[in-house]
Structure 1
Amino acid sequence: MSPTPARPLNVPLLAVAGAVTVANIYFPQPLLAAVAHGLDVTERTAGLIASAAQIGYALGILLLVPLADSARLRRLTSVLLALTSTALLVAAAAPDVLTLAVATLALSTTTVLPQILTPVAAVLADPGRRGRVVGLVGLGLTLGSTLSRTVSGAVTDASGSWRCAYAVAAVATAALLPVLPRRLPERLGQPARTSYGALLAGLPRLLAVHRELRVSALLGACVFAAFSVFWSVLAFHLAAPPLGYGPGAAGLFGLLTLPAALLSAAAGPLADRYGASAVSVGGLACAGFGLTTAGFAPYSPVALVAGANLLVAGVSSCQVAGQARILGIGRAVAARVNTVFMLATFAGGALGSLAGSWLYAVHGWLAALLAAGACVAVAGLVVVVAARPAASTCVRDVTREAGGIRPRIPQGES
């Protein structure tokens, strides 16, 4: 029996909820210089906060998102929202950088609702509109990740304390509790017939069976590593001479990249029409050009804004394409294939944040951008290699799901 929602699926609500919860990962990035000053630590040490957020998010995707295939979605959503709000309040009161890092790790582990809401929207959408729906939810995630930097920087400037930004995030997350769970289906899949451990143990098999999942996972890791390198060091670059900007200016980049965030919504319909690979190629070209622009004019605010816009548009398009590619595999495994994809993506992001902070501290802005460009180049190589055997293997692939084996449905069909 297929579970159905008690009410019609509200895609705009899912997009807003995704924006609010994903913001918890990104809003600390423009605050890192202020955190370093306020807690009397080095910039490199403060950079660990960004890495903790990415690592925690990856852990949450691995440990919590698979539950959405069989758990009660409303109960799971309520618990995650409550835990995230509590951890944000702990972070706001953190007396030292260790407490802040642990609280960041905890809150980012539980703020994984975006990666539950995306497969919910995708599997309940009409097959011909899957890319469009994923694109709309993805737009919410992009807006949340970009505008959160603007809001957190502005709140910090206005209040004089980075702690207020964490408190605002806690209130925004808690506000979803009385609204979101009631508008979700009771279940996405069937009640669990296997143990929690078996669910997790089956994740590598999904990666082995589904070629499109392997391709998307590699692309996601590479492009998000490049994205995280850029944003994890941008606040330091803007604060250093000759620019000398504060947290508000770093956060303003989120607002200034709004055009790119809005443009990325077109990636879903384009993936429906032309295929995920074509959208990935365009996204990689866009991201590469953005990094080049920021590298050739490192002290030009105009060039930095242009580069940030191109990077946001490119990376967001690649992510939408990747999810549109994998979420057609099957409803019974939708949350778990998204788990594998996003785990790879945010593992790449954590490595990118860590590498970016180290490279910037030791070698400066251009070295960090070169590392980000190398990640984009590797992603381009993955697209080229993956395109060659795709046509010959499509017919032979099979998908193993809960009830047995069925022929794999080619991309774009139902």
Structure 2
Amino acid sequence: MEKQSADPTQIRRGTIPVMAVACGVMVGNIYLCQPLLGAIAKDFGVPESIASLVAVMTQVGYALGILLLVPLSDMAEPRSLVRWMSALAAVGLLMACLAPAIPVLLAASIFLAFVTVVPQVLIPLATSLVAPEHRGRAVGSLATGLIMGILLSRTISGLVAGYGGSWRASYGLASVLSVVVFFLVPAFMPKKSEHATSIGYFKLLASLPPLLKHRDLILSMAMNFLVFGAFSAFWATMAFHLATPEFSLGPAAAGLFGLWGAPGALLAPMAGRLSDRWGPARVNVLGFASVLICFAIAITIGAHSLIALVIVVNLLDFGLQSGQVANQTRIFAIAPEIRGRLNTLYMVSTFGGGAIGALAGGYAWSAAGWTGVCLLGFVATCLAATILATGVATATSSKQGHRSEP
């Protein structure tokens, strides 16, 4: 029987909600730049395609942080790990706030994203604090904080920049919030897990590739690589779309679209419960349907209607989050002692897809405008759905083959 990694009697009341808020605050550091890209391009006097590299660099930095730092959660004391990460994130955000030129901002973006991977330490930790049958709910709760952070960071960042008169103010505020995480969150975290490994850091990293033998991990990685790429392409170009003569909106309005998408994000706990009840694959299907409908609306009515865009961001956020919860529920069921490393591989794939999606979105925007971005997202999601169908068919065939053996 699977054990829990922590004694529930040693866990402070409110631990899961505090972890969820921390996930939102820290992941917001990755996305706060998106409504600011137009203002950054104007301030530094660079083309939009160059300014969009800020979004790309944050995705790259986050993927590197997940690869090189998150495995430490399987061996290090989690409270110390969170303290170091949040402190360094505050420093990186301050560097971005004071950046004198675009190359410095790009370098600061990689660094701050590299050390802001706190959510990817907290999510697998939270699954060890609950019974296995409630794993999906725990993932869903922290995933709600995560996606709310993604959405509200855009809203708050855009508003702060719009009313503060500079995009730099948004980075300054984020630096302060990371300091709050440094002081508050570790007090709610449990002691080191009983599943913690004692192997060295480099052996820990060397143990990652062999984990790719798990079919459920590969399936989840491939699907979220594509869907998160579509998500990033959409949001990396949203500010450009809203700045066109069709809308003529600035960073504050672009940021507000994060707030309008909040209802879709709040359905994440439902996706967790459905994953526990139906199984992850059916929840993946639900997520794909939502994302495909999203891009179908975006490329038609969403080209000229703000109301349609509100519907689009809700469908996109719900679809992404449903898939994310289903995928993490699937991989965390593999083995409790390697959850940190499983999450490492999964999230490296996810944010690698995000970096490529943001870059591809910039090129699609330059080549074909909003239509190109939406087509890119639609095709990527169709490929993800095809991978799921193939994976389910292969698993079913394998099970039937085992049953027919004498």
**TM-score interval (norm. to shorter):** over 0.9
Q: Pick from 267, 280, 297 the counterpart of residue 293 of structure 1.
A: 297
Aligned to 1:84: 89
1:274/1:34 Cα in 2 relative to 1: closer, same or farther (>3 Å)?
same
Cα 1:28–1:246, aligned 2, differ >3 Å: closer, same or farther? same
Cα distance, 1:364 vs. partner?
A: 0.9
SS in 1 for 2:182: coil
Distance 1:304 1:167, change over 3 A: same
Is 2:347 the partner of 1:351? Answer: no
Q: Report the counterpart of residue 4 of structure 1 in structure 2.
A: 6
Q: Which residue of 2 aligns with 1:373?
A: 378
Within 5 Å, give how 1:10-409 maps onto structure 2.
10-190=15-195, 192-208=197-213, 210-297=214-301, 298-393=303-398
Structure 1 Cα separation of the partners of residues 199 and 150 of structure 2: 35
Give the deviation of 1:137 after TM superposition. 0.5
Change (3 A) 1:121 1:51: same
Displacement after TM superposition at 1:132 (Å) = 0.7
Alpha-carbon distance in 2 for matches of 1:380, 1:129: 26
Residue aligned with 1:244, SS: coil
TM-score by length of 1: 0.93
What SS class does the counterpart of residue 364 from structure 1 fall into?
helix
What is the CA–CA distance in structure 1 between the aligned matches of 2:275 and 2:98, rounded to whole Å?
44
Counterparts of 2:304 and 2:196 in 1: how far apart (Å)?
55
Residue identity over aligned pairs, in percent, reads 41
In 2, Cα distance between the equivalents of 1:328 and 1:81?
A: 28
Gaps of 5+ in 1: 398-414
Q: Distance in 2 between matches of 1:218 and 1:123?
A: 25
Offset of residue 2 of structure 1 = 8.0
Q: Distance in 1 between matches of 2:198 and 2:155?
A: 45
> Number of matched residues?
396
Cα distance, 1:247 vs structure 2: 0.3
Distance 1:33 1:193 in 2: 47
> How far does residue 182 in structure 1 lie from its aligned partner after superposition?
2.0
The answer to whether the Cα contact below 8 Å between 1:234 and 1:250 also exists between their aligned partners in 2 is yes
Once the 2 structures are TM-superposed, how far is the Cα of residue 242 of structure 1 from its aligned partner? 1.9
* Mean CA deviation greater in 190-199 or 295-304: 190-199
Alpha-carbon shift at residue 311 of structure 1 (Å):
0.7
The answer to which of 341-350 and 360-369 deviates more is 360-369
Secondary structure, in 3 states, of the residue corresponding to 1:350?
helix
C-alpha contact 1:2 1:190 (8 A) present in aligned 2? no
Query: How big is the shift at 1:162?
Result: 0.3
Q: Once the 2 structures are TM-superposed, how far is the Cα of residue 43 of structure 1 from its aligned partner? A: 0.4
AA aligned to 2:6 is: T
Q: Return the alpha-carbon distance in structure 2 between the equivalents of residues 98 and 311 of structure 1.
A: 32
Distance 1:336 1:172 in 2: 27
Give the residue type in structure 2 aligned to 1:357: G
What is the rounded CA distance, in whole Å, between the counterparts of 2:122 and 2:112 in structure 1?
Answer: 18
DSSP-derived class of the 2:266 partner: helix
Structure 1 residue 190, shift from structure 2 partner: 4.7
Partner Cα separation in structure 2 for residue 160 and residue 229 of structure 1: 27
Give the drift of 1:34.
0.5
**Change beyond 3 A, Cα 1:300–1:3:** closer
1:337-362 Cα offsets, whole Å, 9 max, x none, are 01111111110010000000111022
Q: Which shifted more, 93-102 or 386-395? A: 386-395
Deviation track 1:99-143 (CA, whole Å, cap 9, x = no partner) reads 001001000000001111000011221111100110010000010
Q: What code does the residue aligned with 1:312 have?
A: D
Instruction: Look up the SS of the partner of 2:184 in the other structure.
Output: coil
What is the deviation of 1:192? 4.1
CA–CA distance in structure 2, aligned partners of residues 188 and 317 of structure 1: 28
Per-residue Cα deviation, 1:293-316 (whole angstroms, up to 9, x for no partner): 010120111111111111111011
Paired residue secondary structure (1:4): coil
Q: TM-score by structure 2 length? A: 0.95
After superposition, give the CA deviation of every residue in 1:131-159 in whole Å (9 maximum; x if it has no partner). Answer: 01100100000100011100000000111
